[in-house]
A = this chain, B = another copy of it.
Amino acid sequence: MAASLADTLAALSIKPSAAITHAETTSPATWKEALIGSGSAPASFELIKTLVYKPKTAKSATPVPVIVIAREETETNSAAIGKKLNLKDLRLASEDLLKEFFSLDKDSLSPLSINESTFSKVLTVLDTSIPTSSSVFAIHANSSKETIFVSGQDIASYLKKFETAETTVQEIDLHALATAPGAAVQTSKPPAKEKEDAKIEGAVQIAIGVKKEVDFPAWYTNVLLKADMLDYYSVSGCYILKPWSYSIWEEIQSWFNVEIKELGVQNSYFPMFVSASVLEREKDHIEGFSPEVAWVTKAGNSDLEEPIAIRPTSETAMYPYYAKWIRSHRDLPLKLNQWNSVVRWEFKNPQPFLRTREFLWQEGHTAHLTKAEADTEVRQILELYRQVYEDLLAVPVIPGIKSEKEKFAGGLYTTTIEGFIPTSGRGIQAATSHCLGQNFSRTEMFNIFVEDPNTGEKTHVWQNSWGLSTRAIGVMVMVHGDNQGLVLPPRVASVQVVVVPCGITAKTTDEKREEINGKCEELAKKLKKAGVRAKADLREGYTPGYKFNDWEQKGVPLRLEIGPNDLAKSQTLTVRRDTGAKAPIPLANVESTVSQLLQTIQADMYTKAKKEYDGHVVEVTKWEEFVPALDGKNVVAIPWCDREACEDDVKERSGRA
């Protein structure tokens, strides 16, 4: 359909300053991210957005779409534009209309989508600030995977060469239009400003916009954005955790805190800064982390005497104090934990939750008299991590030990739980619990020792460290989400049940409407009182369909609908997010029915995911079957002699195949 980038460029009289082919992009954020990530983008540029509106048109007439070309940052007020152009009720055009006029989806649209034949059939609006700007602008070359960089003047010239006596480019100062007092008066409601994606005509059924099985990375980003989990941030590789995702982290925190306190672990807080000399004390350890360490070198206008690192993890920051605090075997075991953020300035492509430059985690650091005690704790913690994943997030994991090559830098051995993403067929490290042995405590290192009460000998302590990060949230999204959006396991959902009033039409009497709304509110209250995190969605001006879609995207585990019929029968319709199954339940005794149903959903989500994981663990003993099994999106279990040379060999041969 879309011409190749080369063809497109050749057909143009304009010379782009750069042209880039990249991953498909589905939002301004992912587009920008892809361009910066490519390494080939100009140092500074702005995105151009191309919006297509359809005015209200008589059914028999052919619509004349309005194409608005604006800077990404400029607000486009459709009501004000409509008023200016004397058109009624501008709405963002449906995908069908885009296909009909441009043979393109909305993410591939650009000023270049307008050509000799389409120009006369549409109304082209160009923001006046574009031709006069000195910025470099990014526009798609008729595909969401291709971008060229041009000047504003280039864009204007390109469009103007199609002008005829009848049809000209409408140049409008969109910023002034949007911000003029009263500009928004005639905006159709609700909501007052455009929620572009949600309002694409007929878009309700599209939901996430791209299918999980077709474009997994784009699906993932869309789910996170539409579920209001996260937003992109102006510092690349950093993300904003919005309440919808942060509340999941809070659930994990409160569960885990109870469990580790039971084990005698206490929370504390160590500074985020580590001096260079301390950080560099353990050779293997620092080799593992130094390429990713962020350094503070300035404060105010002064240069620091020595650069100071932001912790990538806290072993070397903490252990000089362990040496100081541990003076006798009576001070053992010492078990501290902290909930903090760490910084690893990765240069690989960042991915929300899974690979981010700053992330939230907990790190536990303990010291023991004996290896046996340390060994036991390593496993206890791994078991807690398993429970976080399997019991809270309904995500199955497999416990195991990392190879020497993959273990924690500077440790003795690393235990891990490994998850599985069925869509990509890839395993993923979910959480790790390390035994550090006596490597950090030995005399030449931090020299942490006590007198053994049994032998009277000086003995270096045995240490563990263990961490679980917000990565868990990303894995959960990938495992459970579907083409309607997020699917949340009830135990971590900040809203477990949403109650939506239904069947209210223009003909419904005020009394009836109030009765239905009242019943919904009463039901939510009743459930909350019983400890269920419930909410009634009584927003006015939104259809039940809009609300259904909204809460489905956000992954709320259970929807309860109440309409006039339900009211009459004293029942409510339950709709499960995970299966879509619908069933009426009586309002009598609703608390226990709903609690039970939430437990069932939690269990079913785990069982389903577990079945999928199990179905993709393949035992292989012949080399010929290894790569095909991997290619079949499986986790492959093979015999291994525990030698690094063999590990390298397998990696190399499977990579080559």
Which of B193, B233, B247, B250 has a CB less than 8 Å from the CB of A327?
Answer: B193
* Contact yes or no, A240 B267, CB < 8 A: no
User: For residues 444 through 487 of chain A, which have their beta carbon under 8 Å from a beta carbon of chain B?
Assistant: 450-451, 456-458
* Contact yes or no, A327 B191, CB < 8 A: yes
Of A202-210, A268-276, A372-380, which stretch is located at the interface? A268-276
* Contact yes or no, A457 B290, CB < 8 A: no
Kindly report which residue of chain B lies nearest to residue A293, judged by CB atoms. Answer: B300
> In the complex, which residues of chain B have a beta carbon less than 8 angstroms from the beta carbon of A231?
321, 324-325
The answer to the question of A238 belonging to the interface, with a C-beta cut-off of 8 Å to chain B, is: yes
* Contact yes or no, B345 A299, CB < 8 A: yes
* Contact yes or no, B299 A296, CB < 8 A: no
* Contact yes or no, A308 B235, CB < 8 A: yes
Q: Size range of the interface on A?
A: 35 or more
* Contact yes or no, B291 A298, CB < 8 A: no
Q: How far, in angstroms, from A247 to B331 measured CA to CA in the complex? A: 19
The answer to the question of A185 belonging to the interface, with a C-beta cut-off of 8 Å to chain B, is: yes
Kindly report which residue of chain B lies nearest to residue A267, judged by CB atoms. Answer: B246
Given A275-B234, A327-B192 in contact, is the A269-B246 Cβ separation under 8 Å? yes
* Contact yes or no, B456 A243, CB < 8 A: no
The answer to the question of A294 belonging to the interface, with a C-beta cut-off of 8 Å to chain B, is: yes
* Contact yes or no, A182 B341, CB < 8 A: no
- Against B, the Cβ 8 Å flags (1 = close, 0 = not) of A187-230 are 10011111100000000000000000000000000000000000
Given A187-B451, A278-B234, A328-B192 in contact, is the A336-B243 Cβ separation under 8 Å? yes
* Contact yes or no, A192 B291, CB < 8 A: no
The answer to the question of A60 belonging to the interface, with a C-beta cut-off of 8 Å to chain B, is: no
The answer to the question of A167 belonging to the interface, with a C-beta cut-off of 8 Å to chain B, is: no
* Contact yes or no, B268 A193, CB < 8 A: no
* Contact yes or no, A296 B269, CB < 8 A: no
Given A195-B327, A294-B296 in contact, is the A271-B451 Cβ separation under 8 Å? no
* Contact yes or no, A266 B238, CB < 8 A: no
The answer to the question of A330 belonging to the interface, with a C-beta cut-off of 8 Å to chain B, is: yes
> In the complex, which residues of chain B have a beta carbon less than 8 angstroms from the beta carbon of A308?
235
- Against B, the Cβ 8 Å flags (1 = close, 0 = not) of A318-338 are 001100110111110000100
The answer to the question of A157 belonging to the interface, with a C-beta cut-off of 8 Å to chain B, is: no
* Contact yes or no, B243 A268, CB < 8 A: yes
The answer to the question of A295 belonging to the interface, with a C-beta cut-off of 8 Å to chain B, is: yes
Q: How far, in angstroms, from A619 to B258 measured CA to CA in the complex? A: 50
Q: How far, in angstroms, from A328 to B305 measured CA to CA in the complex? A: 49
* Contact yes or no, A182 B457, CB < 8 A: yes
Given A310-B296, A443-B179 in contact, is the A271-B456 Cβ separation under 8 Å? no
The answer to the question of A612 belonging to the interface, with a C-beta cut-off of 8 Å to chain B, is: no
If A247-B266, A272-B272, A291-B300 are given as contacts, then 7 extra A-B residue pairs at C-beta distance below 8 Å, sorted by A number, are A43-B305, A192-B451, A238-B273, A243-B336, A272-B343, A300-B345, A310-B310
13 A-B pairs in the complex with CB atoms less than 8 angstroms apart: A43-B305, A183-B458, A193-B327, A195-B327, A231-B325, A241-B268, A241-B270, A271-B358, A291-B300, A295-B297, A296-B310, A298-B307, A299-B345
